[in-house]
Structure 1
Amino acid sequence: MTVNTASFIDSGLRFTPHNFIVPLDYQHPDKGNINVFAREVSLVDDTADKPWLVYFQGGPGFPSPRLNGNNGWLKRALQDYKVLLLDQRGTGNSTLISHQTLANQTPQQQADYLSHFRADNIVRDAESIRKQFGVKQWAILGQSFGGFCSLTYLSLFPESLSRLFITGGVPSISRHPDDVYQATFKRTREKNQAFFRQFPHAQALCKNIANHLMNNDVYLPNGQRFTVEQFQQIGINFGMSDTFLPTYYHLENALIEVNGETIMRYEFLNEMLMQQGFQTNPIYALLHESIYCQGFSSNWSAHRVRQEHSEFNYLGEESEFYFTGEMVFPWMFEQYECLKPLKEAANLLAEKSDWGKLYDAETLANNSVPVSCAVYADDMFVEMDISRETLALMPNAKAWITNEYEHNGLRADGEHILSKLITMGNHTYHCQHSPQPRTMR
């Protein structure tokens, strides 16, 4: 471990960067090392020896948040913990995965390299850091995919954990991704219907945009041709709170007439490019379906399942328009400028069937670590019924099921949500450690 001396203070918080050298492949350390970055956050005037809480970001393929100020979930966490914000391998200030860093590798080399960037190795990185810190146990807060990582950690190293807090991220531990996408396409359809009920005129606006894209060559500011399929993908925002109205505003400002010709406004095209996170964070597209795979291939699951839901395939003026959601499709590697060089690697990963285990059902069934979860009833990304199926298998797992929040509840009202989960976890812990009542004879 090396400690970066560029620590700083802001809003009464001390931020201390750390860099760790870890194996790319823990089973074969001779394959070389990568760097994993993490940022320690603590209260400046705090003299207490508080335990650690490690934050696992959603994704996959996104770095830990660059938090600004002592607010939200961080404010509540720092009352009880010092916090470690982990840039999962391949993201942020860790050894980066991008079209640039993979450029000199063959497709097979790219696929082989990327296969080491799933939850199992993210967790092994965290475990290596725990040992380097000399910490006996620490707690975890996992948001979305971070919750998936949390259950992987609980499967592999349960003795290293004191508490688990999960928000919007309780996965199936056995289902094929086809089951997941059947559920999420249904949720996405419901979100579309709710959006168009609130904004009836939006259907006509969407069709005007889609028809324009079908009949004209339109290019984004990076030179990439903009298509109906790409436009549909902004529906991923419907899984977050307070996004219907901003989406409508974008739609009503999409087209403009110049010299008698209808064209797309530059600011709309620029906004569409800014929403294409796949360009800057390719792990999300490359490994998204593999987060569900254990001993089987995804074989482009979302693409296949989509064919059973024809309403998502816009065919023109006579069709109704629907946005898609949190799904990855093979055509993305033909259209997105920064994904094109990774097309062959993406196909190899979709065909890969020898993925290792991410969860251990027996270990989870015998779990003694308190697990507190916020499960969102209307979650567009992580299906509530699948989450409940997993939680039913786990002792000491408590779920707060609520329709007050969308998938981004932790970002929207993190102080309240984490406070509730900590209270739930404390109750479980005290029940475990309270004296047992005597049996009267």
Structure 2
Amino acid sequence: MTSPAAAPAPSSTLSSTPWSAPGLRITDHVLEVPLDHGAAAGPSAPHLSLFARELAAPGGEDRPFLLYLQGGPGFEAPRSDGPSSPPWLARALRDFRVIMLDQRGTGRSTPVGLDSALPEGAIPGASTLREATPAQQADYLALFRADSIVADAELLRVALGAETWTVLGQSFGGFTTLRYLSVASRSVAAAMFTGGLPVLGPRIDEAYALTWDGMIARSERHWSRFPGDRERMRALVDLARSGDLSTADGAPVGTERLRRLGHLLGASGGQEKLHHLLELDPRSPAFRADLAGALPFSGRNPIYAVLHESCWADGGATRWAAQRTMPDAVREDPTLLAGEHMHREAIAEDPQLAPWAEAAELLAAREWPALYDPAALAEATCPVAAAVYYDDAYVPRELSLETASHLRDPRLWITSEFEHNGLRASGEGVLDHLLGLVTGERRG
């Protein structure tokens, strides 16, 4: 059964600060939430600070709420400097007040970092994660998956006085939205997914096998379009193998970390971005600076690297699924690129991520509880719409459609017009289409 719409009362008073920007009425909200929602509550229990920014159009301050769940995991919500930033915001503001939630561990919520202050009492004897043992680090990070994010969101919803809200999930935000429908669907007025319907059950290997096949095809398409780029990539591999490839700060880049430049190919304009990078002199300051910016995993957002596979886990252990399912053809040819495929080596080769390596090993071996409940998904009565990108580099179409079949009345839009970043790249287009589906104004 789905949980009732009412959530437990927030453990602290919501602190709200209004301000404005051109074309926007903004309120910053801060709420203290339990570090571990499954532990005994109380004022002495460790708490995190949860930050959310409410955006409204002038005159739209009383519109219903739309909760935006950012992709990742491990990234804060977008920052806005006006009603068209991000590009889909203007469409959302015509119908809603938008809640940009900094998911726990990100942005202005209590951050995850080696030297960030831990909540009081979170880890006995440690004030930061750097002072903690790898086992303590892993146990702490295990509290930053979608189940905890949804529990946080429920406390925030109640604190805001909203009986229900509409939820929009991009990529990992869609994974979190599916968790929402599994445990608290009565709190959801409507749910919208963009590139984010995860596979159900402990089947992460199937997901990664499909994404590897997709990246092989994307790599070959890029080399066919820009034939000279393949030789440039081979030259970079030679530099990486000899220890002569580095970013602008001098950090070495090994072959597995370099391979992850392929993640650029999963978004619109990605081929052009990769080509522009590869045509630079690899010893030039421009290349070395741009290389650092183009690599997908970094110390800025450690959750993205260290918990990436764990956030797929609907039960079972991940055991470095991307590494285990890498095809032999990819192992043998470093010009066959990777996307969001995390390997041990990709962490060990990055000086900013290497301190997390032992915790990452423990998380890869961890037996995770299930995130999703197929029976509850079938019972959820709120309208559900999903943009399923036909050739999604990160969330395979085949598995997305299978998951959608567990929902009561999924309104699916299967499109090859956009890549995984369609919500941003389309301007107002993808969101407008999804809103038409949930209201019944548009079919398919």
Question: What TM-score, normalized to structure 1?
Answer: 0.90
- Counterpart pick for 2:47 among 5, 14, 33: 33
Q: Give the partner amino acid of 2:382.
A: V
Map of 1:152 onto structure 2: 179
Q: 1:325-344 residue pairs with structure 2 within 5 A?
A: 325-344=339-358
Find out whether 1:356 has 2:369 as its counterpart: yes
How far does residue 360 in structure 1 lie from its aligned partner after superposition?
A: 0.7
Corresponding position of 1:17: 28
Residue correspondence of structure 1 range 115-264 to structure 2 within 5 A = 115-255=142-282, 264=283
1:280 alignment partner in structure 2: 300
Q: Is 1:390 aligned to 2:417, yes or no?
A: no
2:131 is paired with a residue whose SS is: coil
Q: CA offsets, 1:173-211, max 9 Å, x none?
A: 224211110000011111111111111111111111211
Partner of 1:371 in structure 2?
384
Matched to 1:96, the amino acid is: P
Structure 1 residue 285: Cα displacement = 1.1
Q: Which segments of 5 or more consecutive residues in structure 1 lack a partner in the other structure?
A: 256-263, 431-441
Unaligned runs of 5+ in 2: 1-12, 117-128
Distance 1:216 1:60 in 2: 30
2:7 is matched with: none
Q: 1: distance between equivalents of 2:132 and 2:243?
A: 36
Instruction: Report if the CA contact (8 A) 1:56-1:141 is conserved.
Output: yes
The alignment covers a number of residue pairs equal to 413
Q: 2:361 aligns with which of 347, 362, 367?
A: 347
How far did residue 125 of structure 1 move?
Answer: 0.3
Amino acid at match of 1:271: D
- Tell whether 2:331 aligns with 1:313: yes
Letter in 2 for 1:290: S
Q: Distance in 1 between matches of 2:112 and 2:176?
A: 19
Deviations 1:316-370 (A, max 9, x none): xxx56221111111112311112111111111100001x2221111011122110
What residue is the counterpart of 2:393 in the other structure? 380
Matched, 1:302 2:317: no
- 2:15 paired with 1:3: yes
Q: Deviations over 1:139-178 (max 9, x none)?
A: 0010000001001001100111110111110111224211
Q: Which residue of 2 aligns with 1:290?
A: 310
Q: Report the Cα distance in structure 2 between the residues aligned to 1:197 and 1:92, rounded to whole angstroms.
A: 40
TM-superposed CA distance for 1:2, in Å, is 3.5
CA apart distance, 1:429: 11
Which AA in structure 1 matches 2:36?
A: D
The answer (yes or no) to whether the contact 1:4–1:18 under 8 Å persists in 2 is yes
Deviation at 1:223, TM superposition (A): 3.2
Contact 2:60 2:93 (C-alpha < 8 Å) held by counterparts: no
Answer yes or no: is the 8 Å Cα contact 1:119–1:358 preserved in 2.
yes
Shift of 1:428: 8.1
One-letter amino acid of the structure 2 residue matched with residue 39 of structure 1: R
State the match for 2:81 in structure 1. 68
Contact 2:54 2:99 in 1 (8 A): yes
Once the two structures are TM-superposed, the CA of residue 26 in structure 1 deviates from its matched residue by 0.9
Q: Secondary structure at the match of 1:221?
A: coil
What TM-score does the superposition give when structure 2 sets the normalisation length?
Answer: 0.90
User: 2:241, 2:382 → 1: CA distance?
Assistant: 54
Q: Looking at CA atoms only, which structure, 1 or 2, has the larger radius of gyration?
A: 1
Task: Say whether residues 1:406 and 2:424 are aligned partners.
Answer: no
AA aligned to 1:341 is P
Question: Is the alpha carbon distance of 1:417 and 1:295 closer, same or farther for their aligned partners in structure 2, counting shifts above 3 Å?
Answer: closer
In structure 2, what is the equivalent of residue 259 of structure 1? none
1:89 to 2:138 alignment: no
